[in-house]
Amino acid sequence: MGAADSVPRRRTSRQVWVGNVPIGGGAPVSIQSMCDTKTTDIDAAVAQIARLTDAGCDIVRLAVPNMEAARALAEIKRQVTLPLVADIHFDYRLALAALEAGVDKLRLNPGNIRKPEWVRRVVAAAAERNVPIRIGVNEGSIDRMRYPEATPEALVTSAMEHVRILEDQGFGQIVVSLKAFDVPRAIQAYTLMAQRTDYPLHVGITEAGLPWAGTIRSAVGIGALLAAGIGDTIRVSLAGDPVEEVRVGWEILKSLNLRSRGYTLIVCPSCGRCGINLQATARQVDEALRRRPAPPREMKVAVMGCVVNGPGEAREADVGLTGGNGLGLIFRGGEVVRKVPQDRMVAALLEELDRVEGADAR
């Protein structure tokens, strides 16, 4: 069975467009991140968005806490190619200013904009510009007077109340998120929401933590939902460089055969048969791959520690290396193509990778 045969069957959802990126309706699961720069620092925001673009981010969100930030969006938009999402809370005037600046999507909770006429103005302006709205509900944003505990049912009910506010205005370009830190709670909430509506779902585990623990928590939660066919766009929420969020997002999607792009490093677990310093060699290859422009298709690169089984175990890799007894074997598609001194095997691997990519480009 090939990778195409093992892609999770996805929930049917309606489609909205964020700039030139479709969400839902069978479109590829998109990867989002959020700038941690001040939106008013235009140069810093643009520089970070450029790094996110290079990493494979599809959509980027920016905080809009005040009118100065809202006005900065127009110049940021002029200098970048990624669709921009304005993160709005409480003040409807910030949403209107962000729309005027040309953002491609709003993230807000209509329930925390106090007056219905203010909500109507935002919805009308978004509809006029064909801009979708993401309703973002999480454990911290629900009304604890009405919902003392942030159960999955409370999250879904709260989200549906916000959805109806927009629907009552005849607005249907809606994306919904129901993020929680607790992974089982998030999975249950998204599963319930998927049964109640066909709006596209933005999936994530909120406040997941520092990169090591947060990556694991996000991979478990987001991965479980995607494996069940739930999720149209994702954001991995890590306390760190937003570029790392994108890298983790890609690895989650590639592990489920939902997207393919860039390099995938395959490394065998170390054992007593290992004939090289596997961890140091793998890190050296990983650092080299991170410095290379990402190829348009997924390129699998293997670092194996056992001369006997390495090439065969990594047969699906485009290129790979294994070493022992002072020799490095460079293999391609599971077949050994070169023998080099062990201290040359990383360089030889990268040379073979150049050949494969060159053949692809022809």
Predicted pLDDT of residue 6: 77
Other beta carbons less than 10 A from residue 343's beta carbon: 10
Q: Which residue has the tokens 């009910």?
A: 157
Contact 330, 321 (CB under 8 A): yes
Task: Work out the mean pLDDT of the chain and round it to a whole number.
Answer: 91
- Residue 64: pLDDT over 50: yes
Other beta carbons less than 10 A from residue 301's beta carbon: 25
- Residue 2: pLDDT over 70: no
- Residue 22: pLDDT over 90: yes
Predicted pLDDT of residue 5: 60
pLDDT tens digits, residue range 110-152? 777 878 899 899 999 999 999 999 998 887 777 767 777 889 9
The residues spanned by each domain of the chain are 7-255, 263-361
pLDDT class of 231 with cuts at 50, 70, 90: very high
Q: Which residue has the tokens 């109806």?
A: 164
- Residue 3: pLDDT over 60: no
- Residue 362: pLDDT over 90: no
Output the pTM of the full model.
Answer: 0.88
Predicted pLDDT of residue 1: 42
Predicted pLDDT of residue 96: 97
**Rounded CA separation 99/269 (Å):** 50
Quick one: average pLDDT of 49-64? 95
- Residue 221: pLDDT over 70: yes
Percent of the chain with pLDDT over 70: 96
The beta-carbon contacts of 161-166 under 8 Å, at least 24 apart in sequence, are 161/111, 162/109, 162/110, 162/111, 162/135, 162/137, 163/135, 163/197, 163/199, 165/110, 165/111, 165/119, 166/110, 166/123, 166/133, 166/135
Q: How many helices (H) and strands (E) does the chain have?
A: 11, 15
Contact 34, 62 (CB under 8 A): yes
**Rounded CA separation 113/217 (Å):** 32
- Residue 308: pLDDT over 70: no
Closest CA to 352 of 326, 321, 319: 319
| Burial of 359 from C-beta contacts in 10 A (0-12 / 13-18 / 19+) | exposed
- CATH fold, domain 263-361, is Sulfite Reductase Hemoprotein; domain 1 (3.30.413)
Predicted pLDDT of residue 311: 67
CATH of domain 7-255: 3.20.20.20
Quick one: average pLDDT of 41-62? 96
pLDDT class of 262 with cuts at 50, 70, 90: confident
Quick one: average pLDDT of 1-17? 80
